[in-house]
Structures are given as structure tokens and as C-alpha cells.
């Protein structure tokens, strides 16, 4: 366990925001957990950092930052029907997806190239190209630093929803996820329902998982900025979910509106389309801007701090509210600041 004061976090968040942590602990070994809980006493604010790809960090972070870097992947067991694979929380998500695919443990390929760590994947139930992590997750192993106990959550107990889980709410927030177990079916069925995959030339059902993984990576590289080159946190807003009645009203007024019908008869609106219609694509405000190929992505145009990102995000959300009467909710987690 490394304990560092005044730790620079600007390279530990993909938005590349200037940020300094008053107190920083790196968690590299499960044995460190007891020592860490000695520091995380009730009432002492702390924050668990993974790959920093879904956070907006303030310039000065006063919470103790616990940086999860636990490593290790193993096949727990194999049955006639599936593989049960466990990965430590600090494993890099994309590397884990590639490793599983190479081993013949298929099912995660639609989630390739999502930045960040395995431990953060269940927190917002990461999703892309027709699959969410909840569709492949068996259970989550978490450590409660306040009671110094390990807790295991099965899929149902994680209370997954669109970009949501128990780990974002009162009864799960603050738990340190140390490992995640995935149940990957031996009978692999490609998921090619997402429009981008349907339109992707050369992809038809029956193809190998590696081909799906490659296609997803190519589509993502076309649309999304590489955080190593341009600071960003992926989609900055969640796609808002509205009632069928609200959707049909909007559809009448804006026939081009993009939406996906949900199983409970509600509709998920494409926030990117609405932001695009407000003319934000490629625009800049202060040290932040909107990506030229995906209006849902806010970028650091150079030297941005949290205030720059918040200013542009508020301006965007204000315009969408004015034009469409729809509220946008940010996807990233704000640390030491709010929205």
C-alpha cells in the first residue's frame, strides 16, 4: 500500500483535468485492505478510483482517494453450459475482454474498448452495442472498509438498471469492489442487433466472436475520441428515458428524433441526436468542447479544469431543455464538485 499526500491526479483521469488529491492510497494487494480500513473511519470521506474514465475531478480532492489496482484473472470453474471467470477489480477492462476472447470464453466482445477497470464495470452497469455487463455478470465481490467484511452480491442483488446499480446508491456506495465474476455461455450467440453492427459490412450471425470484437473496436474508433489524445469521459449525459406518451408527443414535433423502445413500453431518447440538433457538435466554450463526430462527448480542448467541463455541460443541458423540454443527467461521477 502506497500512501501519498498531494498526489497529482491529472494523468489518472481520462478527461485530463488538473486535479490534486490531498491523500492518495494505492490498493495493489488484498492484504492491504485491513490497513486501508484503519484509515477509512466512519465519517472520513473517501473515493474509490479505477481508471478515471467516468469521473469529473475537482482541482483539489479532499476525500481520501483509494486507487484500485488489484490484479489477477482465473477460471473459477467450468460446467457443461458455461465458464465462470473471475477478474480482480484493477484489471483493465478491455484487456480482460481480449483475454477472454482469446481463451474461447465468449460473450463480452460487444463491450470491447470501453476504457477503465473491471471493478468499475458493475458500478454503472457498462453497456455498448446491445450488451450490458449485467447480461454476463455472475456476482460481485466487495469489501466493506467500515465493517472490515467481505460481501458477495449475486446478479439480482446488484439491482442493475441502465447505467445504474446498487453500488451507486446508499446501501452499496463506498464498498470497494475487489473482484467480479462472469458467467460466459459455452453456446455463444452473437449479439448483432445494434444498428451500427447491423450496418457493418461483412458481419452476419455465425461469425467468430473475434470478428464482432474487431468490428466493435473499429466502430468505436471511428466515433469516439481516444482519451490518450483528447481528454474525454465518453458519453457525458445518459440517454433520457421517457414515457411512451411523452415520446409520441416529441415524435410529432420532431419527426427525426432517435429513440429506442424499452421492454416496459418507455423510450430511451438519443441525447446525442438532441445535442446535435441544438448545434453543439464541434463547438467550444472556454477550455472545453463538443466532439466533432459525437455530440454526446464533451472534450478537454486543453488545460480544462472541472469548472470548464461543468460550464459547457450546463449550457448544453439548458439548450436541450429549452428546445425539447427534456432534462439531461450527467453520466460521470463528480468528485469534490457537483453539477
231 binds ligand FAD (CB under 6 A): no
Please tell me the distance from the alpha carbon of residue 329 to that of residue 336, in angstroms, as a whole number. 18
Answer whether 56's CB lies under 8 Å from 288's CB: no
Which DSSP letter does residue 111 get? Answer: G
Catalytic residue list contains 327: no
Tell me if residue 201 is catalytic. Answer: no
Q: Is the Cβ of residue 28 or residue 258 nearer to ligand EPU in the bound state?
A: 258
Among residues 28, 48, 51, the alpha carbon closest in space to that of 116 is found at 51
Residue with smaller CB distance to ligand EPU, 172 or 272: 272
Q: Is 232 in the site for ligand FAD (CB under 6 A)?
A: yes
Residue 239 near ligand EPU by CB under 6 A? yes
The item of ligand EPU, ligand FAD, none sharing an interface with residue 227, based on CB under 5 to 8 Å by kind, is ligand FAD
Alpha-carbon span 165 to 132, nearest angstrom: 12
115 sits near ligand EPU (criterion: CB under 6 A)? no
Q: Establish if 234 lies at the interface with ligand EPU (CB under 6 A).
A: yes
Name residues contacting ligand FAD, limited to 31-50 (CB under 6 A). Answer: 47-50
Compute the distance between CA of residue 309 and CA of residue 149 in angstroms, rounded to an integer.
Answer: 37
**CB of 131: closest distance to ligand EPU in angstroms?**
9
Q: Return the one option of ligand EPU, ligand FAD, none that residue 239 interacts with (CB less than 5 to 8 A, by type).
A: ligand EPU
Give the active site residue among 53, 139, 163, 183.
Answer: 163
CA distance 145 to 35: 9
Question: Which of 57, 179, 213, 233 lies at the binding interface for ligand FAD (CB under 6 A)?
Answer: 233
Q: Map the footprint of ligand EPU across residues 126-145, applying CB under 6 A.
A: 128-129
Phi, psi of 221 (to 5 degrees): -65, -30
Q: Which does 258 bind (CB under 5 to 8 A by kind): ligand FAD, ligand EPU, none?
A: ligand EPU
Q: Is 158 in the site for ligand FAD (CB under 6 A)?
A: no
**Rounded CA gap, 257 and 58, in Å?**
35
CB neighbour list of residue 289: distance below 8 Å, 6 or more residues apart: 282, 283, 298, 299, 301, 312
Show the cell assigned to 76. Answer: 473459477
Reduced DSSP (H G I as helix, E B as strand, rest coil) percent helix, strand, coil of the chain, to 5: 25, 30, 45
Is 26 among the catalytic positions? no
| Residue 211 or 258 with smaller CB distance to ligand EPU | 258
Contact flags string 170-209 toward ligand EPU, x per CB under 6 A: ------------------------x-x-------------
# residues near ligand EPU by CB under 6 A: 19
176 binds ligand FAD (CB under 6 A): yes
Whether the Cβ atoms of residue 81 and residue 185 lie closer than 8 Å to each other: yes
Nearest to residue 212, comparing CAs of 198, 233, 229?
A: 198
User: What is the crossing angle of helices 93-103 and 209-223, to 10°?
Assistant: 160
| Piece of the chain touching ligand EPU by CB under 6 A; list 14-22, 31-39, 267-275, 322-330 | 267-275
Q: Find the binding residues for ligand EPU in span 274-293 (CB under 6 A).
A: 276, 281
How far is the C-alpha of 148 from the C-alpha of 338, rounded, in Å?
A: 30
273 contact choice in ligand FAD, ligand EPU, none (CB below 5 to 8 Å, kind-dependent): ligand EPU
* Pairwise CA distance, residues 286 & 292, whole Å: 16
**Residue-wise DSSP of 27-91:** E-STTHHHHHHHHS-TT--EEEESSSSSEEE-SEEEEEEEEE----EEEEEE-SSEEEEEEETTS
Return the active site residues: 163, 235, 331
Residues contributing to the site for ligand EPU (CB under 6 A): 128-129, 194, 196, 223, 234-235, 238-239, 258, 270, 272-273, 276, 281, 294-296, 331
Residues contributing to the site for ligand FAD (CB under 6 A): 14, 47-55, 68, 89, 114-117, 119-121, 123-124, 126-128, 167, 176-177, 224, 227, 232-234, 333
Amino acid at each position: 500500500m502506497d500512501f501519498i499526500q498531494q498526489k497529482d491526479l491529472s494523468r489518472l483521469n481520462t478527461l485530463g483535468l488538473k486535479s490534486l488529491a490531498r491523500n492518495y492510497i494505492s490498493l495493489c494487494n488484498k492484504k492491504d485492505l485491513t490497513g486501508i480500513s484503519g484509515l477509512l473511519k466512519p465519517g472520513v470521506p473517501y473515493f474509490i478510483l479505477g481508471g478515471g474514465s467516468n469521473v469529473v475531478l475537482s482541482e483539489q480532492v479532499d476525500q481520501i482517494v483509494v486507487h484500485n489496482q488489484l490484479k489477477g484473472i482465473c477460471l473459477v470453474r467450468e460446467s457443461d453450459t458455461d465458464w465462470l471467470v473471475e477478474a480482480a477489480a484493477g484489471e483493465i477492462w478491455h484487456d480482460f475482454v481480449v483475454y477472454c476472447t482469446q481463451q474461447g470464453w465468449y460473450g463480452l466482445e460487444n463491450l470491447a474498448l470501453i476504457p477503465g477497470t473491471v471493478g468499475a464495470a458493475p458500478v454503472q452497469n457498462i453497456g455498448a452495442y446491445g450488451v450490458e455487463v449485467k447480461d454476463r455478470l455472475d456476482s460481485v465481490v466487495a469489501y466493506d472498509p467500515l465493517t472490515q467484511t467481505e460481501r458477495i452480491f449475486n446478479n439480482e442483488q446488484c439491482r442493475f438498471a441502465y447505467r445504474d446499480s446498487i453500488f451507486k446508491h446508499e446501501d452499496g456506495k463506498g464498498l470497494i469492489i475487489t473482484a467480479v465474476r462472469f458467467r460466459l455461455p459455452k453456446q455463444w450467440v452473437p449479439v448483432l442487433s445494434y444498428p451500427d453492427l447491423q450496418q457493418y459490412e461483412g458481419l452476419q450471425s455465425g461469425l467468430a466472436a473475434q470478428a464482432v470484437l474487431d468490428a466493435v473496436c473499429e466502430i468505436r474508433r471511428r466515433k469516439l475520441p481516444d482519451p490518450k489524445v483528447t481528454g474525454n469521459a465518453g458519453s457525458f449525459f445518459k440517454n433520457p428515458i421517457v414515457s411512451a406518451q411523452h415520446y409520441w408527443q416529441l415524435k410529432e414535433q420532431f419527426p427525426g428524433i432517435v429513440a429506442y423502445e424499452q421492454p416496459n413500453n418507455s423510450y430511451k431518447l438519443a441525447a446525442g441526436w438532441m445535442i446535435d440538433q441544438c448545434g453543439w457538435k464541434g463547438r467550444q466554450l472556454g477550455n472545453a468542447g463538443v466532439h466533432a463526430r459525437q455530440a454526446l462527448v464533451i472534450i478537454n480542448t486543453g488545460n480544462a479544469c472541472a469548472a470548464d467541463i461543468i460550464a459547457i455541460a450546463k449550457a448544453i443541458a439548458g439548450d436541450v431543455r429549452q428546445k425539447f423540454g427534456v432534462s439531461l443527467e450527467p453520466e460521470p461521477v463528480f468528485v469534490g464538485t457537483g453539477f
